[in-house]
Chains A and B, each alone.
Chain A
């Protein structure tokens, strides 16, 4: 098992550009989520999904879109990047029956 994988590891965007952060897991977990972590702060939930075709908003959803067409993949889309979206983004999935969140290695995004 590769666990939770995220690509790319690093990304630099210009204001207004769009991009998709990829997240995949090979553990057949139904629940997946996206968080952002700003310097010196905790993680804030952006969007989450409890299964294919089902997504919902977290604490800070504005500026981000998600979809969940398969159990394995949960991409996060930035339609028009803004400097305020400079952050480290973590994807996580939950081990069924335990509530344990298993995090990916993160994507460090800089928006100029």
Chain B
């Protein structure tokens, strides 16, 4: 079956350092979504990318969708303690369906 892997699994950074998580799917995705889950909380939608090669920015966060629509990345510039949490990518393999496959997640810890 389809798998979506994320690396790294864990990342500890000093506050102010940059952070990147990578998402790799075994099959092509029609779109990619990113979610953030705080410890003990529920996933919160961050963004959706649809087009091949698309890049979107939200303040210190930069999201990228690969040309082949099989990989994506999330980059955080100058991390803050509020960035702590687990970041998940997710996508449906087929356009028009809602059978989302979630990535394994990257847990970020930010040391003050």
Please indicate whether A and B come from the same complex rather than being unrelated chains.
yes
A-side residues, CB < 8 A to B, are: 31, 33, 35, 40-45, 48, 50, 58-59, 90, 94, 98-106
Nearest B residue to A104 by beta-carbon distance? B42
| Interface 0/1 of B37-62, CB less than 8 Å to A | 00001111100100000000000000
Whether A42 lies near B104 (C-beta < 8 A) is yes
With contacts defined as CB atoms under 8 Å apart, how many contacts are there between chain A and chain B in the complex?
57
Q: How far apart are B58's CB and chain A's nearest CB, in angstroms?
A: 14
Whether B103 lies near A42 (C-beta < 8 A) is yes
List of 3 A-B pairs having minimum Cβ-Cβ separation, nearest first = A42-B102, A103-B42, A43-B102
B105 at the interface (CB under 8 A from A): yes
Contacts of A59 in B (CB 8 A): 1, 99, 101
Q: How far apart are B8's CB and chain A's nearest CB, in angstroms?
A: 13
Contacts of A101 in B (CB 8 A): 33, 35, 43, 45, 90, 100
Known contacts A42-B88, A45-B100; is-contact A103 B43 (Cβ 8 Å): yes
CA distance A101 to B47 in the complex (A): 10
CA distance A6 to B55 in the complex (A): 35
Whether B45 lies near A44 (C-beta < 8 A) is no
